[in-house]
Amino acid sequence: MHRYAWPSGGGHRNRAYLRDRLVALPLLTVVAFGALGWAYAGVRGDSAYIRDRAAPALVDLADARASLLIAQGEAERNLAEGRAAELSGLSERYRTRIARATQSLNQVTRSGALTVAEEQELRVVSALVVDYTGWIGQAQGHATDPVLRDAGLSYARSMLCSQAAAATGKDPYPDCPAATGSAATSIVDRVTGMEGRLRARLADRAAWGADTIAATVIAVLALVLLATGLWRTVSFLRHRFRIRLSIPLAVAALPLLAVPFLTVDALLALHAQHETLPVTGALAERTSPETETVAEERPFAGPEPQAIETLGARIDEGLADGRLVLLDGIAPFVFPAGLVGAAVIAGTLHAYRREYLVVTRPGAVV
């Protein structure tokens, strides 16, 4: 190992030294840039998954859940007015929130963040929302009959929440704790369960995996050995062959200059991914219909810290800051750059060795 990784020109025959370098340097280049490219592409890919798929899906799920709870509170408050609700219909906020919940669920389906089973479950949720609005419509049709109206509202409420509570003047949007296991059959139960599974996958992507750690360690070791080997080879050529600067080897070493930038970019991305986790936790646990209505009614009072829109913007900003924009799209080219470098090194050393075998320079050690 010492012979190939940490060779010294002193005391070695030129022919043997060039042969060793012809084997070691291209191999180290392939290993170094292969491991580096794999680890870097993985980190960048995780950031892209969180930014383009998981985070938008979590925002839409939270928005759908809050919108449905707001719509339920609006429906109960409107229908309590009796004949006025039958004649004028439900409020604009109810209709807007139902449309918004439907749109958010459709966007989650198209996000690409769900598994096949989850997409099927989301279609079930969308169908339940249609049935839910149907029962609200029946309650509206019997707004003047307290018995039929309350029966329709009660059934709609049970479709929305497993542990349903009626809205009141003091609590227009009552809590809707999600059930688990076989009892999780309501709309909110299913949406909350989907949020939990998606957050778990996001946390797995943001964590340092064993394969990423192994690839990083291999890349660091191989890059150190490669840089040292190139430096010693250039010194060898300068002292033994009187080649002041090997232009091909210098060109092959240029990709090494990008390694610090790739490292900084990867560290920024990892930091941004970890900073995303508490924000996604707030999306699932701290958002509420009350906060959403306050943000809706007072749009010019400043952003609400726990509003869904504010939390979604924080995720977007954090992930946008967690990368060097100039390196966007470069991940697929890291390993090919290493292959090109390995080919240049191999070709250059092979040419030097062949020339040496044909003509021995004056003063060289044969």
Indicate whether 285 belongs to any domain: yes
In this predicted structure, what is the pLDDT of residue 170? Answer: 75
pLDDT in single tens digits along all 366 residues of the chain? 445 444 444 445 677 777 888 899 999 999 999 999 999 999 999 999 999 999 999 999 999 999 999 999 999 888 887 666 665 678 889 999 999 999 999 999 999 999 999 999 999 999 999 999 999 999 888 878 888 888 999 999 999 998 877 777 777 888 888 888 877 889 999 999 999 999 999 999 999 888 999 999 999 999 999 999 999 888 888 877 777 888 889 999 999 999 999 999 999 999 999 999 999 999 988 999 999 988 888 867 677 889 999 999 999 999 999 999 999 999 999 999 999 999 999 999 888 877 665 445 454 444
Indicate whether 43 belongs to any domain: yes
Segments forming the whole domain that contains residue 98 = 2-358
181: left (phi over 0), alpha (psi -120 to 50) or beta: left
Q: What is the pTM of this model?
A: 0.87
Distance of CA 61 to the CA centre of its chain: 17
Indicate whether 363 belongs to any domain: no
Indicate whether 110 belongs to any domain: yes
In this predicted structure, what is the pLDDT of residue 365? Answer: 47
Indicate whether 86 belongs to any domain: yes
In this predicted structure, what is the pLDDT of residue 18? Answer: 79
- Give the type of residue at 49: Y
In this predicted structure, what is the pLDDT of residue 87? Answer: 59
In this predicted structure, what is the pLDDT of residue 234? Answer: 87
In this predicted structure, what is the pLDDT of residue 294? Answer: 87
Indicate whether 365 belongs to any domain: no
Number of domains in the chain: 1
Residue 19, CB-side half-sphere exposure with 13 Å CA sphere: 6
In this predicted structure, what is the pLDDT of residue 355? Answer: 65
Residues in the chain: 366
Assess contact for 153 and 78: CB atoms under 8 A.
Answer: no
Distances in whole angstroms, Cα of residue 193 to Cα of each of 57, 118, 265: 13, 10, 34
Secondary structure element (H or E) that encloses residue 214, with its range: helix 210-240
Residue 287: which of 76, 104, 78, 47 has the closest Cα?
104
In this predicted structure, what is the pLDDT of residue 85? Answer: 60
Indicate whether 319 belongs to any domain: yes
Indicate whether 366 belongs to any domain: no
